[in-house]
Amino acid sequence: MNKALEEPAAQRDAEAPAEPVLDQTEATQALLESRESLAITEPVEVPPVDLKAPELYINRELSHLQFNVRVLEQALDPGYPLLERLMFLLIFSSNLDEFFEIRVAEQLRQLKYGREAVGPDAMHPQKVLERIREICDLNVTRQYKILNEIIFPEMASQGIRFIRRADWTPEQRDWVREYFDGNVVPVISPIGLDPSHPFPRLVNKSLNFIVQLDGKDAFGRETGLAIIPAPRSLPRLIRLPDELCNGGDNLVFLSSMIHEFADDLFPGMAIKGCYQFRITRNADLTFDFEEIEDLARTLKGELHSRKYGDAVRLEVDNRTPEEFISFLQEEFTLNDSQVYRVDGPVNLTRLMAVRDLVDRSDLRWKPFSPGIPNKLRNEKTVFESIAANEQLLLHPFQSFSPVVDLLRQAAKDPKVVAIKQTLYRTGDKSDIVNALVEAARSGKEVTVVIELRARFDEESNLHLASRLQEAGCLVVYGVVGYKCHAKAMLIVRQEGNKLVRYCHLGTGNYHSGTARLYTDYSFITADQEMGEDVHKVFQQLTGMGKIQRLKKLFNAPFTLMAKMIELIQREARNAASGKPARIIVKVNGLTEPKLIRALYEASQAGVQIDLVVRGMCQLRPGIEGISDNIRVVSIIGRFLEHTRVYYFENTGGKPDVFCSSADWMERNMRNRVETGFQLSGKNAERIRRELEYYLQDNTQSWELALDGSYTLRQPAEGEEPFSAQQQLLSDYAS
């Protein structure tokens, strides 16, 4: 131990806000001006004509990181309400956690087992990890500067304060002591380290403390070190009673309590240092599908192991002595590049509890009421409305309730004989599931295809499967080796002497909560040919047989990508012959090499291509002679952009317009069950208009450059600011 370990623990709380080092205006300006340093750029050379050349592709992982950086940038937007800016900063942490749990873990796994695999960009996993370290180091440091120098001071100016230990009044300290003794001590388990108490197995992403002790315990042991795991059941933020404070909202970190009263956990021993840390582990689940006999049973066995996968990242308070950091690195088998020293809480995502502890609607988004089309309002039943007019809804600007109402009415309607439904993510308290349970209990034939492997929703989906089975539903888990990502509902109704099919197809999940946060399309129709296609898709999922020909749907992994390439090539031929040619694609990710090459070829032929790609994009725009007709933008705003829409100009004024559950990624086109459905007439015209909103956006749109960096678009001189999301709110919501 060096002398630094002998010094008393720092007085400033590890989880309390730092004192601002700049005044608020200077801090904001400094961070805004430093945006240029955030560009995740890669050297670009003049590429050969070969469209498989690695120079034509951006690395997938680095592109994914770039999206997270754009999320972080929202915390600096003065046009957003303050608490929403805090949420963006915390979402950056949540996204980064998953990035390390899945993407970084995969790169490390490849190196560990000598199975290095490179993508179309040909970047070796070791180089990828080095660039990830550089980018994360830069932006995590930036994140904490934004938090400490801008967000916390602005919150304090609004009466929302995080009270440091040094600022507790005697009355507040007494209350915190009582809370600690009554709520923390009974559930906390400090662990002294000695031969009979080895280093504990710590849960993924849990808050922990490493403590330096002085003295001997009751058994005469003198170990010098202990670990305090913060109980996951306890809140990380506690609100002080209003009567103990001078107005406003006053919060205390759980870590502040543990720092202050840690000596109570080790009676008779002196605490010479207490430092927080957090470990991130590999949380991906892998299966040998040839060995699986029961997917549900196998998944149950794997879920527990997720909490204790290999360590991939260590976050520590930046005041932690190097000896302690080295000790933790050795315990978790981590190198220096996997350690992140932070100036504040190591578990920032738990700060999201502020939303429930602080009632400040003036610092949140202005509420709105999603619109409902008049034709759905006025009919007696959803069935009557759909039979007369198919409905296209855009959530969250338009309500998700018609989709729920359709299923609720189907559950009660004596004419409905069967319901078929896919479920990917539905939430713990799902109206959709309640309706399916009611339908099954009333004697209807209910078939539910549940995707058990929806990442981080596996446990919830297992519970849902059990509940549905107990209600009498036929529950299947799709096809082994292919995730069922399609969003489809089919209702079969007896009308006179014939059976009529009603169906819902969507770009998003059957989740009422995310329907208020994610942009997604819902299409409800009584078109019998489309209903027959949906029926065939369910047959493929629940039974066995050859590929069935579909009339109005395209599905992955069979026909969807081939259809997209066919339409891209048609636009290229039209452009080459002097006809109008245009492609607009809006997806969450673009990584499928064959689709990218097809777009490059179309660009070379003169097709104007606009891509609205929220997240990762491996296509490199602006390459002379190859992609100089391609523009890529990413919209980051109040709502998470989630729609998947494909537009092809065609000739004769009849564009081909599709909505789909599939992004343009390898996994969606090759390893998942997906659906794409074509829209026509007024619905197609509407889609085109709404896509143009996104292309017109000059306030929340980030444009991708040749070098892989993104630039926030700004209104030109004399140009009015325009936000696509705000325009859609104006069009549909109230």
Please give the biggest Cα pair distance in the chain.
90
Is 642 annotated in some ligand binding site?
A: yes
Task: Considering the candidates 259, 485, 504, 511, report the single residue annotated as catalytic.
Answer: 485
Report helix, strand or coil for 126: helix
DSSP codes joined into one string, 314-325:
EEEETTS-HHHH
Confirm if 189 and 41 have CB atoms less than 8 A apart.
Answer: no
Is 732 in contact with 397 (CB distance < 8 Å)? yes
CA atoms within 13 Å, Cβ hemisphere of 344: 25
Q: Which residues contact 637 (CB under 8 A, 6 or more apart)?
A: 74, 700, 723, 724, 725
Contacts of 443 (CB under 8 A, 6+ apart): none
Please check if 614 is assigned to a binding site.
yes
First-to-last alpha carbon distance for the chain, in angstroms, is: 64
CB 334 within 8 A of CB 314: yes
**Rounded CA separation 25/70 (Å):** 22
Using CA atoms, how far apart are residues 568 and 37, in angstroms rounded to an integer? 36
For the packed helices 82-98 and 60-73, what is the interaxial angle rounded to 10 degrees? Answer: 160
Give the distance from CA 696 to its chain's centroid.
25
CA distances from 610 to 69, 365, 603, 631 (A): 22, 30, 10, 5
Cβ contact 538:490 at 8 Å: yes
User: Per the annotation, does 142 bind a ligand?
Assistant: no
Q: Report the distance separating Cα 488 and Cα 403, nearest Å.
A: 11
Angle at 731 between CA 728 and CA 734, to 5 degrees: 100
DSSP state letter for 10: P
Does residue 251 sit in helix, strand or coil?
A: strand
The b-or-e profile of 493-526 (16+ CB within 10 A means b, else e) is beeeeeebbbbbbbbbbbbbebbeebbbbbbbbb
CA distance 371 to 97: 35
Annotation says 304 is catalytic:
no
Tokens matching residue 402: 């018609």
Residue 349, amino acid: T
**518 marked among binding-site residues:** yes
In angstroms, the Cα distances linking 143 to 138, 170, 316, 567 are: 9, 33, 15, 43
Binding-site residue numbers are: 95, 425, 455, 518, 614, 642
Catalytic residues, by residue number, are 485
Binding-site residue numbers for ATP are: 95, 518, 614, 642
